[in-house]
Chain A
Amino acid sequence: MLTTIEKIVFVALALVSAGFTVHGFKLIIDSIRKGRPAPELKNVPASLLNAGVKVLFQQTIFKARKALSAIHMGLFFGLITYAFVNLFDVLEGLVPGFDLVYGGAHIPNAPTGLINAFNLIADVMSMFLLVAITVFLIRRFIVKDKALDYRENILLNPKVKAGGQQIDSLIVGAFVIMHVIAHLMSQSYRLTNGAYPFMPIASFLNSIFGTSETGVHVAWWISIGWVMFIIPYLSRSKHTHFFMAPVTLGLAKQNPRGQLDPAIPLKVIEGQKFDPGAKFIHDLSWKRALDAYACVQCNRCQDVCPMNFAEGAPLSPSALEVNKRYLLKEATFGSHPDRLLLPLTETVISAEAVWSCTTCHACVSICPVGNEPMADIVDIRRRMIVDGAELDSGVQNALQSLATNGNWMSKGKRLRGRWAKEMEFPVKNATEEPVEHLWFVGDTASFDERVIPNTKMVARIFQQGGLDFGIMYQNESNAGNDVRRVGEEGLFEQLVEQNMQAFGKAQFKQIVTTDPHSFNTLKNEYPQFGGKFEVKHYTMTLLKLFEEGKLTVKNKLSNYKVTFHDPCYLGRYNGGFTAPRKLLEMLGVEFVEMPRNCENSFCCGAGGGQIWMGKVAPGERPAENRIKEALTTFGESTNEKTQLFIVTCPKDMVMYSDAVKTTGNEGKIEVRDIIQLVAEAVGVEEPVVAEAVAA
């Protein structure tokens, strides 16, 4: 179709374009390779293939925003189709007589049926593409969906702030529209024999504009010529997403969610010494640099982030990723390699934002491309701690107490078992006599006077169920889950060692925990330190006791209407969704599910060391929002049933009891630990011994 001169121009253009594209991707790959080693991945081809399937069926985006996800799907299939469309357009240009209209009538032995089918798909997909891209452009530029924005207090690269990504969106959006229209026009101008049923849209255009040889050339050049410009451009915009998303997904973390990457890469590289955590961008693993190129700032992570929700906190996981990409871009494509030597806390995320993360994992779980912004934040914390950054006074107090007392509450070690000594029956010391179940109680349940009644009730129920259990008294130390997530890796290791020593003294078959945070680290992280135990959360142990008939429900609790809050470290991290729900079902309560449940549960705001923070961001707190969600779920109160908010985490007990009060909802909803319901149903009561007033 093309004239010889046109062909020469095209080939020259294609070569230049390919050059820029290869150059662009080489720079990207170089910038990724500068990162630290990532934890080793097993069976990469299989996981890449698996990711490919996920991408093909667009599985990962449907976790949220269903309607927009459907449009994204349309866009995705449209672009895939257009990869072939463009290929055939090029062939039409270069190969004389190669022409797909009318089923490839001019091609000898052409598979007419196949070509017709392709033409139909391409024609219809063109329409899909136009609609999808228009919806996205309207959403961004006319409706101005707030979900695509960042709050004022969030650190943003100046170029992003100046609308860098908006321009990206506009350029690529405009390209798609022009490209698709030009392609349709080029096809319609070819329809010399009138309407062709497998190209309904092109045929319609043909009925208006007719045929034109010049038109074919002009439209072809607009359509394909544009591609020569846009492909190299993609490597320099957020649309690296097109290529990197499947790769990131395929190379995503394989270790359990609840196991943080080591602070220093395990892989030893000759002549390289790593400091723990990350100060500069290349202190992050190469995988996390790759994350930045896969992120297209859909901001789903921001939607689910409990601290983005709290208006005063300057945290947005997706801002972190876009800032990372701009930083890398300025250094590799731009003329600012020096910026790589600026601390991440100045370039990608503010120190305040770093310290506001609750490590709830919601951002990582929701991310369609398998990014881990939360892991970056923990790495930044790790280095800040090692570098002696000034810490929040509350955090410093907690860490100091953990280092000396093994608990964050400044209590003496020997006071850990005080609650057990007050019990009406002896509680075994697992470090002195063998037990089947070693109960790892945790700090809050051991020391907090508000939670101790529940702790004692757990002991009574275990006793009632004939469970052979014991605690480690002063030998137990904080398990270190939140210590690790606050970034104090050294202290975490120290606590692990202390607990491993204590476990070494004990004889037991499995560990049962009250605290989901302890549960997580014992289950997922202690194995790395040689502590391979069977670890259960008490809801699992209780369920088993019921299932084995060792506990029986005497009183059905039909007078309660309850909802259940999934603790992050039990639910999202470890999939412990069913045990508490089955228990509630057995107890005979009326159960209603909050909209944000299980995998999408909303963090109470206490994790990752937040419970220690002195400074709390102003505005509504996550726990307060959650209590309101529960009340909305209950709907108009009928006054017949007591409405309960059920928790299975000592920290939740503290956080939500507080939130009920601060939101002024006392009397409408009550926070209870599941053990309190179990006790009531099983018929175990607190002994009526007047507690001696403090001596």
Chain B
Amino acid sequence: MRRSRLGAWAAGFAGICIALAALFVAIAAGVALGEMIIPMETTVAAITNRLGLTSVALPRIQEAVIWDYRLSRSLVAAFCGAGLAISGAILQSLLRNPLAEPYVLGISAGASTGAVCVMLLGFGAGAFSLSFGAFAGSLAAFAFVALLSSGRQTADRTILAGVAASQLFNALTSYIVSTSANAEQARSVMFWLLGSFAGVRWPEVMLSASVVMLGLVVCIWHARALDAFTFGEDAARSLGIAVQRVRVVLLLVTALMTATMVSMVGAIGFVGLVIPHAARFIVGPGHSRLLPACALVGALFMVVADIVSRIIIAPQVLPIGVVTALVGVPFFSVILYRARRAA
């Protein structure tokens, strides 16, 4: 037993190192690739220059593209992928539903509506109130889904309630944008419905980093409680878990992470669905390993998806939600098909 546990630790540590290295390479590629191809050594020099370690003379324009545009964008993509994947894993465990995730349940749509309300109808101002609006919207969507699927909770009822929530909140978003926005703003409705990493800078990196780190810590703290939900709420309660408190805390954290992401980059679908299943396949269902794995794999996936969205029809940029949906929907279909066969 002793030896196998040591082996498991070593394997876990090696896995984390490999994933971090892959993530680092992906972010470097994200910085190097694009309309203007920047050599890797320039990228590294630009970063070490900023950190005050070196003072290599670099073309002004390249340094600006690296620092103000691509690096911040790749980092936000990484944190978004991590946050959405963790949210998906938490929702799947708490609702005991393999199809649950913020986008499918309409929580992302609710956050979009909240953010658009703040932006166009002018409740408050600034990045903070935008996030706050998104948070309120995501909670409203949560409440809507909980209300519709209350009573006997079955997998299909929760998903159907989520479909209704997505439709409702997306319709509200479109309505608000088309009635109260000018042409320029109306075009941005696409942003809220499909997601985009355009225009994210360092303040967004800081915000997403702190929210995702906080969320990850809170969720890992509750890893054992989440394991205890394996056989449902009563089983968790009989194992000494304060079911109500754990549910409220984790659902709030999920809503907060989703809302923060949506307020910055819009609603990005299916990452929260695909990544937890992939991560479970790699590290198994135990949450103390699953949650860090979700964070790493989600970050990696999103950085790569962002690169794909930028180079596939360059110089134009594909909305990131299109890329994630093209990967996610086939995956969703497979899970749905398997769930149907099992039932």
Do these two chains interact?
A: no
